[in-house]
Amino acid sequence: VPYRYTYPRPVLTVDAAVLGYLMGGGLMVLLIQRKLAPERGRWALPGGHVRMNESIDDAVGRELEEETGLANVKLEQLQAFGAVKRDPTRRSVTVGYFTLVKLSDHRVQAATDASAAEWYPLTRLPELAFDHCEIISVALQRLRERTRTQPIGFALLPTKFSLTDLQRVYEAVLGRSLDKRNFRKKVLALGILQELQELERNVPRRAARLYRFKPAAYRTAIQNGIYFDV
Amino acid sequence: VPYRYTYPRPVLTVDAAVLGYLMGGGLMVLLIQRKLAPERGRWALPGGHVRMNESIDDAVGRELEEETGLANVKLEQLQAFGAVKRDPTRRSVTVGYFTLVKLSDHRVQAATDASAAEWYPLTRLPELAFDHCEIISVALQRLRERTRTQPIGFALLPTKFSLTDLQRVYEAVLGRSLDKRNFRKKVLALGILQELQELERNVPRRAARLYRFKPAAYRTAIQNGIYFDV
DNA sequence: TCAAAAGTGTTCCTGGTACACCCATGC
DNA sequence: GCATGGGTGTACCAGGAACACTTTTGA
């Protein structure tokens, strides 16, 4: 039974830019290969149609899980993308979302409308469907703003990490190098890091001390925001 | 002829939170009274349906002009609002926009789907249709962030204004009072103000000097952003 | 002469920035 | 012993914050 409306309606979709950090590889984004038209076979952000009985926030979480297996991820809305020709085959409007995940936490796996799901480095993206390249660039912009007010590094790193790891994350996100001494001073001053009695293993140099974030202080920081001007 | 689709589609609309500043009255928002269902007779943000052959950015400008007479206004997107029950009568998703205008520049006039168009102070809003109250609060939040990076005062004030006028704008937006001497020092240091050989008239006190912004320097500031931490 | 707001500088202190050398480890 | 990154402290400077009195004008 087709659905009938007095006036035409654009298709409404949601898309998720899920970012992760690969040690030694920089920022990564999770892509799927489309199994269906339009843009069949091309790489794209996970996403899909909004159903009538779910909010757009719920829709993007569902689509992400369906297509990549990533579940229980809290996504933040970026904005709507509504250029007339963004989908050459029909009028569609999408709402972009983004989030940060630890690569180590998630083994991604293609499913439903995706024939593959893979992490790609932001610096070497394949040709993407629709305006997904623009969505990713808005996500990156948002992430850069976020560094000032949220402890983003900890969403991206494994539980235990060295201060150098953390600095590399910030350098990858901001796209510039930072002063080691000043970075450590500032990040330790936030008071959300706990020094562990543990060092890196199997490195061909002096092993770095490992840290983790203090869960309570970290939650407070997330909620109240921080002021971290690197 | 009704339009038919294989899957159901939410209605897609756009809404504009147009903010102005009234001397002595604080921040104002432009509202219309709805002439049509749903929410007929209730006050709401100007807005309406997105057509198939226009971008969402174009749609919001068109709707604003149609309903209030405000034309050639550059609106900035906030985000999409897509809770399932935001419109109790049907599934609809809206994209919120906002902009700043000089009250003095615009005589608003209701038209098409609006039976009235009026400025309301943000502090005394009537009961609003749908989730428009939330859209306004997101707009205000965005405006506060904007004070750091854009010379917002000048979008809201008449061409000639005193430094006290400008300070009142920032106080209204930020919701706190500012130190007069520090404010003047900082705002003059931006180098986008031109001192005029002209004073206020008809005030029952010492008249304040008037300023205007230097057009060239102002445009540069808009483009490159400023750093203005009041 | 009173009320009301205009206009004006200085001091203190915090916090950012720049900067170089020794240390520990694995090979 | 050498290459590699780990780890550490100081000095300078800019800019923010706090703060009070005199001036002008109209009523």
Measured in angstroms, the CA of B113 and the nearest CA of chain A are apart by 16
Nearest nt to the B199 alpha carbon by C1': C6
Q: Is A95 within 8 Å of B77 when comparing Cβ atoms?
A: no
Tell me the chain B residues in contact with residue A84 when contact means C-beta distances shorter than 8 Å: 53-55
Looking at per-residue pLDDT, the higher value among B107 and B77 belongs to B77
At residue A61, the pLDDT reads 98
Q: How far, in Å, is the CA of A177 from the C1' of nucleotide C25?
A: 25
Which residues are CB-contacts of A182 (< 8 A; sequence separation ≥ 6)?
none
Confidence category of residue B85, pLDDT binned at 50, 70, 90: very high
At residue A95, the pLDDT reads 98
At residue A121, the pLDDT reads 96
Tell me the chain A residues in contact with residue B9 when contact means C-beta distances shorter than 8 Å: 3, 5, 9-12
Tens of pLDDT, residue by residue over B12-70, are 999 999 999 999 889 999 999 999 889 999 999 999 999 999 999 999 999 999 999 99
At residue A223, the pLDDT reads 84
Q: Of B11, B49, B52, which has the smallest distance from its Cβ to A91's Cβ?
A: B52
Rounded CA-CA distance A176/A120 in Å is 21
**With a 7 Å cutoff on the CB, does A180 touch strand D?**
yes
Closest-CA residue of A relative to B76 is A79
Tell me the chain A residues in contact with residue B79 when contact means C-beta distances shorter than 8 Å: 77-80
Residues whose CB falls within 7 A of nucleic chain C?
A 179-182, 185-186, 203-207, 229; B 162-164, 180-182, 184-185, 199, 204-209
Tell me the chain B residues in contact with residue A77 when contact means C-beta distances shorter than 8 Å: 79-80
Residues of chain B with pLDDT > 90, as a percent, come to 80
Nearest nt to the A209 alpha carbon by C1': D6
**With a 7 Å cutoff on the CB, does A107 touch strand D?**
no
At residue A215, the pLDDT reads 87
Q: How far, in Å, is the CA of B220 from the C1' of nucleotide C6?
A: 30
Tens of pLDDT, residue by residue over B119-165, are 999 999 999 999 999 999 999 999 999 998 888 988 999 999 999 99
Block mean pLDDT (10 aa), chain A, length 230: 94 98 94 92 97 98 96 96 97 98 82 87 96 98 92 92 96 95 94 93 92 90 84
At residue B104, the pLDDT reads 82
